[in-house]
Amino acid sequence: MATDPQPKAKARSKEPEKEGISAFLNPAEMHKLGRLVLLSRYTVEGNLAGAHRSPLRGPSSEFADHKSYGIGDETKHIDWRVFARTDKYFIKRYEDETNLRVYFALDRSASMNYASGDGPTKFQFACHLMAALGYVIVKARDSVGLFLHAEKVDVRMDAANSFQHLNNMLKHVQSHPPDPNGGTGISQTLHEIAASIRRRALVVVISDLLGDEAAVVKALAHLRKQRHDVLVFQTLDPAEIDLTFKKPCELHDLETGEHLPVNPRGLADEYRKVFGAFLEQYKKACAGMNIDYRLVRTDQALESFVRAYLEERRRLSR
């Protein structure tokens, strides 16, 4: 048997797995995302000068109201036009501008590990969504924090404004994939999050919201009661929304372990009706609480979705 006289090339060593930001976003995506901004629709409390309204008063360019002149007030802030009309001294006050603090409440319960076909799991898509929004936020000099949870909050990171902080957040997310044996406690964890964030912020909930709808809605109401701006991305696989299976199969509940044999063709119409009502309940509840709700499908183009959403939010925030 003839043999190859040339020495065989050594097998290439496996490239190290990417970590942090680079695991989710490539340079081209970061360049495009860097032109976008996430605005809060309400007043927030931050630490840096930024582009968001604050409940505090300070020297910005947007007029807020007047107050009577008192000892210690600077005369340069006296409104002389008002003095000419009333013969009384009043001081102009302005809305201070502040940086935005954004906390991601990311669901890592077992149901988030589902994917149909070759698409990403709900958790993988959610992580990419968080990475994209986090990059936009930090690029705009705003701060990001994290609550990673399943049955309880497993990872908490306070808000900070640096790419190193975002990188560390994403590393934690990578090292805490959904627990295949874990359940969900989204309502309890959202209550915990609401109680732990002391200052007004933007809370971004990324979850499939598969749980007790009434309990979840109460938890979202708790966040709004604390005067947080709340954004909900209900992240679902297309098969969950449309029941696209064609042949008889057995459904497996990732959280309870229950198995259920079904005939999708005979069940599809009723399923879509019931599941549609489930989604509509969240949509209406969020609208009633002034919570920004979006249904996110894992088969859609992430960059296009993020761009369209942020541009829409920018228009609504004016």
Token look-up 């910005």 returns 60
**Which of the 8 DSSP states describes residue 24?**
T
Residues 6 or more apart whose CB falls under 8 angstroms from that of 148 comprise: 106, 108, 154, 155, 156, 172, 173, 176
Say how far apart CA 216 and CA 174 lie, in whole Å: 26
What is the tally of helices (H) and strands (E) in the chain? 9, 10
- pLDDT value, residue 170: 98
Signed CA dihedral, 9, 13, 14, 15: sign only:
negative
Over the stretch 26-49, which tens digit does the pLDDT of each residue have? 999 999 998 888 887 765 444 444
Above 50 in pLDDT, residue 123? yes
Tell me the per-residue pLDDT of 186-240, one tens digit each, with 9 for 90 and over: 999 999 999 999 888 999 999 999 989 999 999 999 999 999 999 999 999 999 9
Q: What is the mean pLDDT of residues 230-258?
A: 84
Task: Evaluate if residue 287 carries a pLDDT over 60.
Answer: yes
Dihedrals phi, psi of 60, to nearest 5 degrees: -110, -175
DSSP 218-253: HHHHHHHHTT-EEEEEEEE-HHHHH----S-EEEE-
Predicted confidence band of residue 254 (pLDDT cuts 50, 70, 90): confident
Q: 313: which 2 tokens?
A: 């939010």
| Backbone torsions φ then ψ of 96, nearest 5 degrees | -70, 155
Q: Which of 3-12, 15-24, 260-269 has the highest mean pLDDT?
A: 15-24
Which CATH entry fits the domain spanning 101-316: 3.40.50.2000, 3.40.50.410, 3.30.1130.10, 3.30.360.10? Answer: 3.40.50.410
Helices (H), the chain: 27-33, 80-86, 122-139, 163-174, 186-196, 213-225, 238-242, 264-288, 302-316
Which residues make Cβ contacts (< 8 Å) with residue 171, sequence separation at least 6?
A: 19, 20
- Percent of the chain scored above 90 by pLDDT? 56
Q: Where in the chain is the domain with CATH 3.40.50.410?
A: 101-316
* d(C-alpha 230, C-alpha 194), whole Å: 11
Contact 41, 203 (CB under 8 A): no
Q: How far apart are CA 194 and CA 228, in angstroms?
A: 8
Which residue's structure tokens are 């306070």? 158
Beta strands 143-149 and 101-107 are parallel
Q: What's the whole-number average pLDDT of the chain?
A: 83
> Which H or E run includes 142?
none
Between CA 65 and CA 45 the distance in angstroms is: 19
Contacts of 314 (CB under 8 A, 6+ apart): 37, 39
Q: For the chain, percent helix, then strand, then coil, each to nearest 5?
A: 40, 25, 35
pTM, rounded to two decimals: 0.77
Residues 115, 298: Cα–Cα separation, whole Å: 9
Length of the chain: 318
Query: In angstroms, how far is CA 200 from the centroid of its own chain?
Result: 16
pLDDT at 280: 97
* pLDDT tens-place string over residues 139-162: 988 999 999 999 999 999 999 999
Beta partners for 62?
95
